[in-house]
Amino acid sequence: MKHDPVFPKTVLFGCLAVLLLICFHRVLLNDHQFAYRDSAHYYYPLYQRVQLEWNEGRWPLWEPEENSGMPLLGNPTAAVLYPGKVIYAVLPYAWGARIYILAHVALAFAAMVALMRSWRASWTAAGLSALAYTFSGPILFQYCNIIYLVGAAWLPLGVLAADRWIRLGSRRALLGLAFVLAMQTLGGDPQASYLLGLCACGYAVGVAWTGGRGLIEDESADAVAEPASGRKWGRWWIYPLIAAGLIVWIVVTLELARIFPGFRPPRPPEKPTPPLPWMRWAPLAASIAWGLVLIFFLARRRKANRDAALERLGFGLAASAALALALTAAQLLPVVEFTQRTSRAAEEGPHDIYPFSVEPHRLVEMLWPNVFGTYFSRNACWADLIQLSTVRGKIWAPTLYMGCFIVVLALRAFSIRRGASWRVWLSIVVVVTLLGSFGQYTSPIWAARLVERSTGVGWPGIGALDPPDVNPLRMDRLLRDGDGGIYWTLSNLLPGFRQFRFPSKLMTFSMLGLAALAGFGWDDFCRGRGRRRGTIALAACLLTLTVGVLAAWQFERPAILRSFEKATLTSSFGPFDPIAAYGETTQSLVQAALVLAIGVAVLATAGRRPRLASCAALALVSADLAVANHRLIATVPQSLFEAEPEVIKIIKEAERKNPSDGPFRIHRMPVWDPPIWNREASSDRVRDFMQWEHATIQPKYGINLGVEYTHTMGVAELYDYEWYFGPFPRKASVDFAKYINVEPGHSIAYYPRRSFDMWNTRYFVLPSHPGNWTHEYRGYASFLPESEAIYPPRMVERTPEAEKRARDWVENHDYQILRNKKMFPRAWVVHRARSLPAMEGTARVGRAGPMQEILYGGDPIWNDPTMNIFDPLELAWIENDDREALDGFTRGFPPRSSEKVEVEYPHGARVEMTATLDKPGVVVLADVYYPGWKLTIDGAPAPIYRVNRMMRGAAVKAGVSKLVYTYEPASFRLGGFITLAGLGVSALLAAFVAWRPRTPLPWSPVDPDPEAPTPAVAG
């Protein structure tokens, strides 16, 4: 038997090469680019924007193209300082975008191999784990959301480092852990770092609590499959205790769901639901509670004279986290500065934490690939027929499949109570993260409401399931479906966790745990640990189940197709195709049956011919994943990204005929689709998506093409800026109802029109079809008054041919461009002011009234005779604290036509203005007020005043003045110093750990190189 066999490694890396080629051949060989979801309209232009700044020799600090300016370095998804972005610097951008994704797929594979080898897994076991993890649906599909692929790629190395520190006391591992945490954070996925740290802490507590039992795998692994019969029921009382605890949790949660809504403050009509009074203080209370628990725990341990192993482990993990924070400070501090001013940090917690919850029934996708159908080439997905709520579920990954053979091996290695400590740790991580990924579907409130909808029997006083398009806080004041569930508990008990989104993100840890357990399962089987027949029997049982379901599926074909034909499951991928959906499920079951049958044969061969079985297992898993998941990679020709968007061509022509006096912004409504997509199928709908979104400059497609967007929706938006643009319902007056051809009193989704005027919006890119005027993504009524149509041309005569062309345009193109006649200039002069109380924090208190005063313009939709109309071109709203300083500049003079301001942007982080004033006044700049901006007037430093709640103001004397704004964030300077110090400390620590590589722990081995892998068996 060879110590480091070449043959299984050759097979393994051959399988990797084949899988990479099958999944990514179009981007490697056919000049294609990744094009689905955020990979096309978000990350491709965003990373290009960052690279353009680097190419100009500037720090990528500020992005003026979105939301009237926003931090670029402070945008966590921009990953400005991530070292992996050097790929974009050394390659042409299109190739950089491809290789960046491919490199992280390869990193995920290599990292998983390294992790398994550190646990002394055979090369075959390591390969099975690496293939299953890297090419599982939830990991591979993150090419669409690259920051999460980065986090997943580094995760196995983080687990490896945490394990080596806790198991072996390796100080080098602490440096490695700090490096991994830093890479995940800089790469844009701080949530992965946070969760990795939590998992490491849990592992340390578990190991210390048990005194290191189970850290020697050879002595404990047999106990996984063969618990001592005498102790099997030794703790039978645990099970009724767990059952009683579940009952108490359910009853208490449901009763609180009935009582708590009565504690909410009264809600004025048409105003958002206020939060429960104590929710503002919940994060602080949770942090204090954790601190008290830690103090009490450590005091008890010291009193009991316990060894200091846990303290040493905890200190090491804390030091590693601190070093990671230092290494990332140059980027992290600007990110924190930004996110703490966004809606995610709002004191009422208004952002929704439940989107992308994984429906529990989707777990069968781990066994049967694409069992609910697919939707890439056509709408052949019937998953929505299983309705667990009235809110249509958002899909994080189209499939959870990681290989049914892998699932068999993982289930056999799964162990919560006995076995190697790392195996128990991974099993617990799998359970907790799987349950957490269900999001709202673990709450007793959701379950009780679902039961009531299905049977009519429910818990009184808790209401029905969340309505469609539900707000983060329900308008009827009741609790949300997911409140009281596991993910809700994590969000409220773990400090800072609530700022993260997407329960499905936890699936990354589930996939890693299951993949690693599968590797252990293979080695256990080949090494004769436990009962081999049990593993074969499990595979045979799942095979029998699959064949049985397939037979029933075929037998009930007429009834199933009739049910499918009655369904109305239209989507942007076209009308539902019952025949294709039925065929997809059939193919899924056939594939699973074949894989399980071959898997049984491979297991039966492993004892006699291990090398053949090893190669067959690797080939089986590779072929299975290639067939099941290669369709996840959606691409389009690179040339589509490089074409000039149609909307930009039209606006350029409009500007040639009627040029603007200065810079201007464009508002493109964020999300809508042409109606034809729901009625007609397409052979390549992803290409349709990309072409239409690119042509209509869906954000961020235009940021590198000279487009400045007034308002976009992305990772987060500044809380006070959002106050300008939130829609709210209004009733159509008689005259306006006639104008838009609806009944008087018809509800309209109203956007404060003055907001767009004030923020220098010259063009509106809108849907052509308004729907019923109530949907926030189609209701464009606010933009019709005082606007002129640019494109498409209006009908001159209502002939049948002209009406047909108009209908075809709405159906197939569905966009229009309007020019705003009421656009404010980018900057203007005022001599009057109204003072407002200073704002603190991110609470609604003190904001609603002043913002209504600023935004109310008495337009045809929002017309209230009880409100006063103020003209922002004549006065500015200033903070009370600035009233005295601005008194000499706000004497009440009317503005004059001779007072003008010229604005230029040499680059994103610099604004140059030439202001001509007849009398001292305030120059208002319609760019966002944000910390870090500096102002000079005629070369002398000057203060920047907060005006109109979110704009910049400068006090300027009479005459001609030169104003220069530059963005020089103190958070970046401070963070840079901390990062440099962190690099220095890292170098010193590297020298120290080379001298003293280990921390003595009661359970750590004493051999001189405890991290060296031992010879692995079974290939």
> 931-959, pLDDT tens digit by residue?
999 999 999 999 999 999 999 999 999 99
Pick from 94, 88, 96, 100: which is nearest to 55 by CA? 88
**3 state DSSP class of 935:** strand
pLDDT at residue 220 is higher than 90 = no
The one-letter code for the residue type at 542 is L
Residue-level pLDDT at 402: 96
Say if residues 548 and 430 touch (Cβ distance below 8 Å): no
Instruction: State the Cα angle at 357 between 424 and 198, rounded to 5°.
Output: 35
**3 state DSSP class of 668:** strand
Task: Evaluate the omega torsion of the peptide bond into residue 271 and state whether it is cis, within 30 degrees of 0.
Answer: no
Average pLDDT rounded to a whole number, residues 536-554: 95
980-1003 confidence digits (pLDDT tens): 999 999 999 999 999 998 888 888
Pick from 936, 949, 937: which is nearest to 68 by CA? 949
Residue-level pLDDT at 1015: 40
Higher pLDDT, residue 739 or 306: 739
pLDDT confidence band for 82 (50 / 70 / 90): very high
317-368 confidence digits (pLDDT tens): 999 999 999 999 999 999 999 998 987 776 555 567 888 899 999 999 999 9
Residue-level pLDDT at 417: 77
425-475 confidence digits (pLDDT tens): 999 999 999 999 999 999 999 999 999 999 989 899 999 998 887 878 888
Cα–Cα distances in angstroms (integers) from residue 746 to residues 3, 83, 721, 781, in the given order = 78, 54, 29, 12
pLDDT confidence band for 529 (50 / 70 / 90): low
pLDDT at residue 272 is higher than 60 = yes
Residue-level pLDDT at 530: 61
Q: Whose structure tokens read 């004397």?
A: 957
Cα–Cα distances in angstroms (integers) from residue 753 to residues 165, 357, 475, 759, 949, in the given order = 58, 35, 25, 10, 17
20-68 confidence digits (pLDDT tens): 999 999 999 999 999 998 999 999 999 999 999 999 999 999 999 999 9
Q: What is the rounded distance in angstroms from the CA atom of residue 104 to the CA atom of residue 794?
A: 50
Instruction: Specify the range with the lowest mean pLDDT, choosing from 374-388, 441-455, 837-851, 923-937.
Output: 837-851
Instruction: Specify the range with the lowest mean pLDDT, choosing from 186-195, 637-646, 677-686, 869-878.
Output: 677-686
Residue-level pLDDT at 91: 96
Strands 875-879 and 832-836: parallel
Residues 6+ away with beta carbon under 8 Å from 703: 45, 46, 49, 63, 65, 66, 709
Residue-level pLDDT at 218: 46
pTM of the predicted protein model: 0.93
471-520 confidence digits (pLDDT tens): 788 888 899 999 999 999 998 888 888 778 789 999 999 999 999 999 99
pLDDT at residue 1017 is higher than 90 = no
Q: How many CB atoms lie within 10 A of CB 940?
A: 7
Residue-level pLDDT at 298: 75
Instruction: Specify the range with the lowest mean pLDDT, choosing from 15-29, 95-109, 189-203, 252-266.
Output: 252-266
pLDDT at residue 273 is higher than 90 = no
Residue-level pLDDT at 208: 85
pLDDT at residue 176 is higher than 60 = yes
Task: Evaluate the omega torsion of the peptide bond into residue 792 and state whether it is cis, within 30 degrees of 0.
Answer: yes
751-795 confidence digits (pLDDT tens): 999 999 999 999 999 999 998 899 888 999 999 999 999 999 887
Residues 6+ away with beta carbon under 8 Å from 366: 400, 401, 402, 404, 407, 514
Burial class (CB in 10 A: 0-12, 13-18, 19+), 719: buried
Higher pLDDT, residue 377 or 229: 377
Cα–Cα distances in angstroms (integers) from residue 887 to residues 577, 712, 878, 884, 951, in the given order = 69, 36, 11, 5, 19
Residue-level pLDDT at 2: 46
Cα–Cα distances in angstroms (integers) from residue 478 to residues 279, 453, 455, in the given order = 15, 17, 21
Residue-level pLDDT at 306: 67
894-911 confidence digits (pLDDT tens): 889 899 999 999 999 999
Residue-level pLDDT at 293: 85
Say if residues 525 and 535 touch (Cβ distance below 8 Å): yes
